[in-house]
Amino acid sequence: MARILLGVTGGIAAYKACELVRLLVKAGHDVIPLVTPGAERFVRAETFTALARRPAGEDVYLHLTRADLLAVAPLTANTLARLAHGLADSVLTEAALAHRGPVVLAPAMNPRMWASPATQANAATLRARGAVLVGPAEGDTAEGEQGVGRMAEPAAIAEAIEAALRDRAPGALRGRTVLVTAGGTREPIDAVRYVGNRSSGRMGVALAAEARRRGATVTLVAANLAVPAPAGVTVVAAPTAADLARETLARAAATDIVLMAAAVADYRPVGARTDKRPKDVASWVVELEPTQDVLATIGEQRTDAQVIVGFAADHGDPGLERARAKRERKRCDLIVFNDVARADIGFDTPDNEVTVVGAAGDVAIPKGPKERVAAAILDEAERLLRERS
Ligand SMILES: Cc1cc2nc3c(=O)[nH]c(=O)nc-3n(C[C@H](O)[C@H](O)[C@H](O)COP(=O)(O)O)c2cc1C
């Protein structure tokens, strides 16, 4: 998750910036729209605030110097010139001057304005300073002219933003492979009923997104996610414990960091019916049998160069003790302990608070959004990986 300042300036393409906000929010980013008065002639600032799920009337100045990336889409010839020359006459241009970090710009203008020597010189100045320019693309303009000047599509701008965020943390996990399991498995009783659990997959999805952001090649083995998978990761569907075992074990040996965040069923119904059991008045006794212990199998097959991270959902201090024993028994490097006795964290909530149990002791990660907790867990895993290579 990144904090993104999104400038919107006064071109017809301002309406397309709505879709860009939606894509960035969906990818888990914190978007702060900075809308120029010129852009407000096309789309009201409130539209962007609502799409970014930000409180109305928020003081954006608080965020200006704390952003991971600045994007401007659409970028008018006017604001492009102002950025090139360092003017500071709007919230957006002030923010641009104060910003330290990647800049992604999506110019949009009449083809003759884009081709003008002044605009081309300004664009060259910004490129030379490290700004990434996406587009403009060729096609029909709003005035019915043909040529290069159309704003790039929102999906292409979102992709350029993701790429710029990945490049921001060079070396962190670039060239590394990360496997994450997420969600909760469902074990069929018959053709329509199952035994499941309350895991939403949020924690695993946050881990996959963070590993991707750090440049890793990420595979997400997904068991019935209640939240969308992040962009840029390979998603492998694994609805049952058997599917998850098969898909994870097929990939784990070739992976640098394995994060087993999924809630995998410990038991599954014996002899699930392939049809639907009709409703009647008789009681129905379902016998459960143990499933394969995927984490223990990974522990048996692991190499010393790998970092294996297990998760333990348990109750209170005795649960923490059991997590410590589990780490040694299953040959994991780290166990992330979640106290499920608390209703405000853990299963199906946006926040978490965990203890990362390692050979060198425990690291308490304070309560916060799962995205922040994911970053802290990956910091620990990354540190171990560095020590081994
Ligand atoms: C209908 C209309 C469409 C416009 N479209 C664009 C455009 O696509 N690109 C551009 O550079 N300027 C465009 N302009 C001109 C800008 O709105 C104008 O230069 C304004 O000062 C930009 O202010 P800002 O960059 O602070 O948003 C358009 C103006 C009007 C009236």
d(CA 195, CA 188): 6
The whole-number pLDDT of residue 65 equals: 65
The whole-number pLDDT of residue 170 equals: 53
d(CA 338, CA 344): 11
Fold of 3-168: Rossmann fold (3.40.50)
Task: Please state, for a pLDDT cut of 90, what percent of the chain lies above it.
Answer: 75
The whole-number pLDDT of residue 224 equals: 97
d(CA 51, CA 11): 19
Instruction: Write out pLDDT tens, residues 60-90.
Output: 776 676 688 999 999 999 999 999 999 999 9
Whether the CB-CB separation of 334 and 310 falls below 8 Å is answered with: yes
Residue 334 β-bridge partners: 309, 358
Distance from Cα 77 to the centre of ligand 1, integer Å: 8
User: Considering 197, 224, 338, 352, which one is annotated as catalytic?
Assistant: 197
Q: Please, where in the chain does CATH 3.40.50.1950 lie?
A: 3-168
Distance from Cα 56 to the centre of ligand 1, integer Å: 25
**From residue 270, how far is each of 238, 241, 288, 328 by CA, in Å?**
19, 13, 6, 30
Distance from Cα 15 to the centre of ligand 1, integer Å: 13
- The residue that leads in pLDDT, 187 or 170, is 187
The CATH number for 177-388, chosen from 3.90.870.10, 3.40.50.1970, 1.10.357.10, 3.40.50.10300, is: 3.40.50.10300
The whole-number pLDDT of residue 231 equals: 86
Whether the CB-CB separation of 31 and 72 falls below 8 Å is answered with: no
Answer yes or no: is pLDDT of 370 > 90: no
Confidence tier at 168 by pLDDT (50, 70, 90): low
The whole-number pLDDT of residue 259 equals: 98
Per-residue pLDDT averaged across 232-260, rounded? 97
- Report the DSSP pairing between strands 288-290 and 267-269: antiparallel
Considering the chain, what is the average pLDDT of its residues?
Answer: 92
Per-residue pLDDT averaged across 239-250, rounded? 98
Whether the CB-CB separation of 196 and 224 falls below 8 Å is answered with: yes
Whether the CB-CB separation of 234 and 284 falls below 8 Å is answered with: no
Burial class (CB in 10 A: 0-12, 13-18, 19+), 168: middle
Q: Please, where in the chain does CATH 3.40.50.10300 lie?
A: 177-388
d(CA 240, CA 221): 11
| CB 178 less than 6 A from any atom of ligand 1 | no
The whole-number pLDDT of residue 171 equals: 56
* Three-class DSSP category at 44: coil
pTM of the prediction?
Answer: 0.56
For 248, phi then psi, to 5°, come to: -75, -45
| CB 93 less than 6 A from any atom of ligand 1 | no
Instruction: Report the alpha-carbon angle 73-76-81, nearest 5.
Output: 115
Per-residue pLDDT averaged across 145-153, rounded? 92
d(CA 137, CA 141): 10
The whole-number pLDDT of residue 346 equals: 67
In terms of Cα–Cα distance, which of 46, 54, 49, 52 is closest to 23? Answer: 52
Instruction: Tell which one of 6, 44, 78, 92 to mutate to probe ligand 1, the residue whose CB is within 8 A of the most ligand atoms.
Output: 78
* Three-class DSSP category at 197: coil
Answer yes or no: 110 catalytic. no
The whole-number pLDDT of residue 145 equals: 79
d(CA 138, CA 6): 23
Which ligand 1 atom is the nearest neighbour of the CA of 151? 8
Answer yes or no: is pLDDT of 47 > 80: yes
**What single-letter DSSP state applies at residue 376?**
H
Instruction: Write out pLDDT tens, residues 94-146.
Output: 999 999 889 999 999 999 999 999 999 999 999 999 999 999 999 887 777 78
**Sole residue written with tokens 């790429």:** 163
Structure tokens at 150: 């159309």
Instruction: Could you list the beta-strand ranges (E) of 41-176.
Output: 69-75, 103-107, 132-133, 137-140, 146-150
Per-residue pLDDT averaged across 159-188, rounded? 87
**From residue 130, how far is each of 70, 125, 178, 329, 354 by CA, in Å?**
12, 9, 29, 50, 38
**Sole residue written with tokens 């963070």:** 210
